[in-house]
Structure 1
Amino acid sequence: MSDVKEMDPGAAASLNGLYRRYSGWLGRRLRGRVGADEAADVVQETYLRLAPYLLEDIRHPKALLLRVALNLVRDERRRMALRDRAMQGAIPMWVTAADAPVDRLHLKQVLLTMPPLYRDVFVLSRFDGMTYPEIALAHGISLATVERRMAKAVEHCMAQLDV
């Protein structure tokens, strides 16, 4: 049994017609903002987002297509900016991974179940942004010990998160 839901033939034909009629126009509108390659991807994603809806109820297809596409572009730019800031250390890496309060609570529970030796190294690395050599120096342990404890901490997280 498959989780894939078959699309109603009428809806598929309607989506196909909408795509044939406006995909070129939408791609041209997006190229100036994101470039040709990304524009093609955004056009495809836009039509995928519209697939579940009753397309015959759309009164202004161009407006809807452009709004969905621009929202996709905006969301992707936000994700990229957040990731870039996290990579530069401007925000902690866990903000991107556990943005929702439920995710933060779950992460906290996972950290509390971790043995203290592993948790200390993990927190210093992932939340405080310290490098492995800095952690080794601060705790008076070898770099190999830091690496081993970090590997055990990540292994613990993955086991707790069922990854």
Structure 2
Amino acid sequence: MTDAKELKPEAAEGLNGLYRRYAGWLDGRLRAHVGADQAADVVQETYLRAAPYPSADIRHPKAFLLRIALNLVRDESRRLKRQRESSGGFGQDQSESASQAEQMMLKQIVLTMPPLYRDIFVLSRFGGMTYPEIAAARGLSVKTVEWRMSKALEHCVARLDD
């Protein structure tokens, strides 16, 4: 037997409406904290945690959802920190120095990129922005952003092959 409780129809509708209204916004906010790849997972977990609360009782849905999401991010960060500490640092020196070397190499490659491509590359890869968001922020078409990003990636590949 499971401990999971079935949602009442009105609660499911409220949660569905909450998701449709704020999931995109929450995903965008989380990208700054966890990156684009983990943001979707945190959004899903946030709505699982929000499910038991009646939507009619939620006065400030954005604040409510963001608080749950940031708590999840903080909990995961603490869990990873405890895991690193409990491993006793075994093998960390080598992986940290390799990571630092990779970061330095990436920084050098990015700095050698023409500014036209570098701007798009940095906003996408480090800023977590989507191509449409970059296009809107820079007053460009999405096709132009895609083209510049492809040129930036070609630059990276060419430098890595050297």
TM-score by length of 1: 0.52
**SS across alignment from 2:6:** coil
Q: Which runs of 5+ in 2 are unaligned?
A: 91-162
| Structure 1 unaligned blocks of 5 or more | 91-163
1:82 is matched with: 82
In structure 2, how many angstroms separate the alpha carbons of the residues matched to 1:55 and 1:31?
A: 25
Q: Using the TM superposition, give the Cα deviation of residue 5 of structure 1 relative to its aligned residue in structure 2, in angstroms.
A: 2.1
Once residues 89 and 31 of structure 1 are traced to their aligned partners in structure 2, the CA distance between those partners, rounded to angstroms, is 29
Q: Give the aligned partner of residue 15 of structure 1.
A: 15
> Structure with the greater relative contact order (CA < 8 A, sep ≥ 6): 1 or 2?
2
* Superposition deviation, residue 2 in structure 1: 5.3
State the Cα RMSD in Å: 1.6
Structure 1 stretches of at least 4 aligned residues deviating more than 4 Å after TM superposition: none
Give the SS at the match of 2:15: helix
Alpha-carbon distance in 2 for matches of 1:43, 1:69: 7
Distance in 1 between the 2:81 and 2:46 partners? 21
CA deviation map 1:44-70 (0-9, x unaligned): 000000101111111100001001100
Sequence identity (%): 67
Distance of 1:25 and 1:51 partners within structure 2: 18
Shift of 1:89: 5.3
- Structure 2 SS opposite 1:24: helix
User: Quick one: distance in 2 between partners of 1:32 and 1:2?
Assistant: 36
In 2, distance between residues paired with 1:48 and 1:80?
A: 22
Aligned pairs for 1:125-136 (under 5 A) are none
Structure 2 residue 53 is matched with structure 1 residue 56: no
The number of equivalent residue pairs is 90
Write the distance in 2 (CA, Å) between the matches of 1:63 and 1:4.
26
Q: Secondary structure at the match of 2:13?
A: helix
Secondary structure, aligned partner of 1:49: helix
Write the distance in 1 (CA, Å) between the matches of 2:70 and 2:46: 9
